Amino acid sequence: MRITAFLAPALALGLAACGATARTPAETELAAALEARSLVPSTRDERDAIRRQDLLTQAAFWAEAHSLNPGDREAATELSSVLRRLGNARRAAEVAQQALALYPDNAELLYAYGAALAAEGRGPLAVEPLARAAVASPRDWRILNALGVALEQAGRPDEARRRYQDAMALAPEQPSVISNLALSHAMAGEPARAETLLREAMSLPGAGAEVRQNLALVIALQGRFDEAEAMARMDVSREMAEANMDYVRALMTTSRRWDAIRGDGS
């Protein structure tokens, strides 16, 4: 069992294994021909501007671009990312996987694919494409953060924490990375350490409801239920906050407390 409604890494912070192989000469020629096609009347400035619009507007734009030109690598990458953020991780993975047939070594597509898998909770399958993306783009903190989430889901917490630390070295003020590291400590039975990290994350620009809800969780895990519920109610209904507190209380009365948080398939 998992606290899926209350405890979730920022990316999960979510394919079948990528299985991409080197392109044949014919596939390389096809990819170049498709990418060169200009079927969507959009300039560079227009494409940059669309990223400032709401997610639904972005989704419509990139879906049209991808439909008109399946070889448009940028459109596939952006569509996958937007679909994941809209909650459709399965379709996001499909879009990225299809594009990887043409661009098997592209770091952005590998990241989009792996992140979509992790968002679905399929971390064990996300490790391989994200590890390849990290090799291709070793200074991209987003990839390292997503790889940490995938490793955590794959039951490899020590490796996950190393990837979070690597991401933090590149982006020390990213609350999502610190939050993911904190949750890893919480799942290892270290809620006090997790609380310290989450309070640090909350002090940073860009920290939002997810970080605050994770902080409420680790406070509750230390038995401070009134404080935790008051914090949780800043983002969710009173009924949901109370339900979350009841769930944590139940966990703390059993010997399976940390197993339940980790999610052991029971």
pLDDT in tens, 88-119: 999 999 999 999 999 999 999 999 999 999 99
- Determine the Cα–Cα distance for residues 256 and 1; give it in Å rounded to an integer: 10
Res 189 pLDDT > 70: yes
Domains and CATH numbers, the chain: 1-167 (1.25.40.10)
Is residue 177 a contact partner of residue 166, using CB atoms and an 8 Å limit?
no
pLDDT in tens, 12-55: 343 333 334 455 666 566 555 555 544 455 778 888 888 888 99
For residue 151, which of 102, 117, 113, 193 has the smallest C-alpha distance?
117
pLDDT in tens, 73-88: 999 999 999 999 999 9
